Amino acid sequence: HISLSDVTTLTELRAKDYSSRILYPRHRSLLPKMMNADMDAVDAENQVELEEKTRLINQVLELQHTLEDLSARVDAVKEENLKLKSENQVLGQYIENIMSASSVFQTTDTKSKRK
Q: What are phi and psi of 111, to 5 degrees?
A: -70, -40
Query: What are the pLDDT digits (tens) for 27-85?
Result: 555 555 556 666 677 788 888 899 999 999 999 999 999 999 999 999 999 999 999 99
At residue 31, the 3 state secondary structure works out as coil
Query: What are the pLDDT digits (tens) for 5-17?
Result: 655 555 565 555 5
Give 76's contacts (C-beta < 8 A, 6+ positions apart).
none
Q: In this structure, which amino acid lies at residue 25?
A: P
Q: Given its phi and psi angles, is residue 109 left (phi above 0), alpha (psi -120 to 50 degrees) or beta? A: beta
